[in-house]
């Protein structure tokens, strides 16, 4: 009898699951894979804000699902599980997901894949990225104006093109104000470890930097800047709460409009594989309010932002001199997306 009841319960559960999935089948399932936790208040947090916007704008027609804390090394399993679970479009939001995404995409040709910050596409794999280096250029100008020691400390995550392009754009911005501006670079070799990022900031301040720039995901560096009465920039989201007297601005990733557009396209069948690269003009890259600087610096930064948005200024426009002295007449998009060299003025070797 007990056994019978048990099996009845199993059948009931199966039925329940079936009806639930029948309901879900009416909805378009859009899925995301996150590297960190949505509570990182940085990179992953901003992606999740975008997902919230998708849910808000497309409402009942779409079901959004996300998996957080997915290590790059074993992301293939997580991506494949989503593909099997009926996701129609899957966004993978870290550079290291590139190969796993392509691998799974080859097995599921009917599912659309979107890989953030990568450079390899397929028929059902789009890459998307944002021109974060536009924000770095603005930061460089502000840093060069505000620094007393003429040295900024830069915390990098990994020496991948996106980060290298950010460092170069930062220096080009700084050099447009102070040609002798210097940068000291520390690679944390992690995207997210508040302790290590904070340590790197402390070390850089002790080595003469008085402005901190970061390309890692937590708010630890700006917290250190606040404590040591130094200055810095927020990363990925507005981190003014962590550095009310330290944050001068922050480059914010605003993925919402892009996600809404792409999910809609996938729903009505107009989705095509592409390489999307939006910036300030499309609203994907936004700057937090400029604070803790004199009015003239603020005016300069705001003009630069307006010029980049309108297209009058391109951080990599014009001639760019590489570290080894060779001059590049025109840095095209492909060069930025695959950037593996420093600009002149950076006294450091790029780890290869």
Partner 1 sequence: MEQFLAIFATIVTASTPLLIAALGELVVERSGVLNLGVEGMMVMGAVAGFGVAFATGNPYLGVVASIIAGMLMSLLFGLLTLTLLSNQVATGLAITLLGLGLSALIGESLVGQPIARIPNFHGIDILIVASFALAGLTSWVLFKTRLGLVIRAVGDNHHSAHAMGFKVIAVRYLCVAFGGACAGLAGGYLSLAYTPQWVENMTAGRGWIALALVVFATWLPGRVIIGAYLFGAISILAYTVQTFAWGIPSQWLSSLPYLVTVAALVVISGNRQLMRANTPTCLGQSFVPDR
What are the residues whose beta carbons fall under 8 Å from the beta carbon of 252, sequence distance 6 or more?
A: 46, 234, 236, 237, 238, 285, 286, 287, 288
CB of 218 to partner 1, least distance (A): 6
Of 71-79, 215-223, 291-299, 330-338, which segment contacts partner 1 by CB under 8 A?
A: 215-223
Which C-beta is closer to partner 1: that of 109 or that of 244?
244
Q: Is 13 exposed, middle or buried (0-12, 13-18, 19+ CB in 10 A)?
A: exposed
**CA end-to-end span of the chain, whole Å?**
68
Q: Which candidate, 145, 105, 143, places its Cα nearest to that of 126?
A: 105
Q: Which of residues 132-161 bind partner 1 (CB under 8 A)?
A: 153, 159
Site residue total, partner 1 (CB under 8 A): 44
Among 51, 219, 236, 300, binds partner 1 (CB under 8 A): 219
Query: What tokens appear for 34 in the block?
Result: 């996150």
What are the residues whose beta carbons fall under 8 Å from the beta carbon of 213, sequence distance 6 or more?
A: 136, 139, 143, 152, 153, 154, 155, 170, 183, 232, 233
To the nearest 10°, report the CA torsion of 292, 296, 301, 307: 160
Which C-beta is closer to partner 1: that of 128 or that of 242?
242
CB of 34 to partner 1, least distance (A): 11
- Binding mask 311-350 toward partner 1 (x if CB under 8 A, else -) reads ------------------------------------xxx-
In sequence order, the β-bridge partners of residue 55 are none
Residue whose structure tokens are 């059902």: 124
Q: Which of residues 180-199 bind partner 1 (CB under 8 A)?
A: 184-190, 192-199
Q: Which of residues 50-109 bind partner 1 (CB under 8 A)?
A: 69
Q: Residues 176-201, buried b or exposed e (16+ Cβ, 10 A)?
A: bbeeebbbbbbbbeebbbeebbbbbb
Query: Binding of partner 1 at residue 215 (CB under 8 A)?
Result: no
Which C-beta is closer to partner 1: that of 114 or that of 210?
210
Which C-beta is closer to partner 1: that of 86 or that of 194?
194
Which C-beta is closer to partner 1: that of 128 or that of 205?
205
Binding-site ranges for partner 1 (CB under 8 A): 36-37, 39-41, 45, 69, 153, 159, 184-190, 192-200, 202-207, 218-220, 223-224, 227, 241-242, 347-349, 351-352
């Amino acid at each position: 009898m007990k056994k019978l009841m048990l099996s009845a319960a199993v059948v009931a559960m199966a039925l329940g699951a079936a009806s639930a999935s029948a309901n879900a089948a009416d909805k378009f399932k859009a899925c995301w894979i996150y590297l960190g936790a949505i509570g990182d208040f940085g990179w992953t947090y901003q992606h999740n804000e975008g997902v919230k916007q998708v849910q808000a704008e497309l409402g009942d027609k779409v079901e959004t699902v996300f998996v957080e804390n997915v290590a790059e090394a074993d992301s293939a399993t997580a991506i494949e599980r989503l593909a099997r679970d009926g996701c129609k479009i899957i966004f993978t939001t870290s550079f290291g997901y590139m190969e796993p995404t392509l691998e799974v995409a080859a097995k599921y040709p009917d599912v659309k894949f979107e890989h953030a910050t990568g450079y390899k596409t397929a028929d059902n794999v789009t890459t998307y990225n944002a021109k974060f280096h536009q924000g770095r250029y603005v930061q460089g100008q502000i840093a060069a104006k505000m620094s007393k020691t003429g040295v900024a400390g830069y915390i990098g995550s990994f020496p991948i093109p996106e980060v290298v392009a950010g460092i170069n754009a930062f220096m080009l911005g700084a050099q447009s104000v102070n040609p002798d501006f210097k940068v000291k670079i520390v690679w944390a070799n992690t995207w997210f470890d508040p302790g290590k990022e904070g340590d790197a900031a402390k070390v850089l301040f002790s080595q003469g930097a008085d402005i901190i720039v970061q390309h890692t995901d937590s708010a630890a560096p700006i917290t250190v800047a606040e404590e040591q009465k130094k200055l810095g920039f927020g990363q990925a989201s507005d981190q003014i709460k962590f550095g009310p007297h330290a944050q001068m601005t922050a480059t914010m990733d605003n993925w919402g409009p892009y996600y809404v557009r792409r999910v809609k396209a996938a729903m009505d069948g107009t989705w095509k594989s592409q390489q999307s690269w939006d910036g300030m003009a499309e609203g994907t890259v936004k700057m937090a309010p400029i604070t803790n600087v004199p009015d003239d610096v603020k005016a300069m930064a705001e003009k630069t932002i307006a010029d980049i948005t309108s297209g009058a200024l391109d951080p990599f426009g014009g001639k760019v001199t590489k570290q080894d002295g060779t001059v590049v007449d025109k840095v095209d998009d492909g060069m930025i997306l695959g950037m593996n060299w420093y600009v002149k003025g950076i006294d450091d070797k790029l780890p290869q």
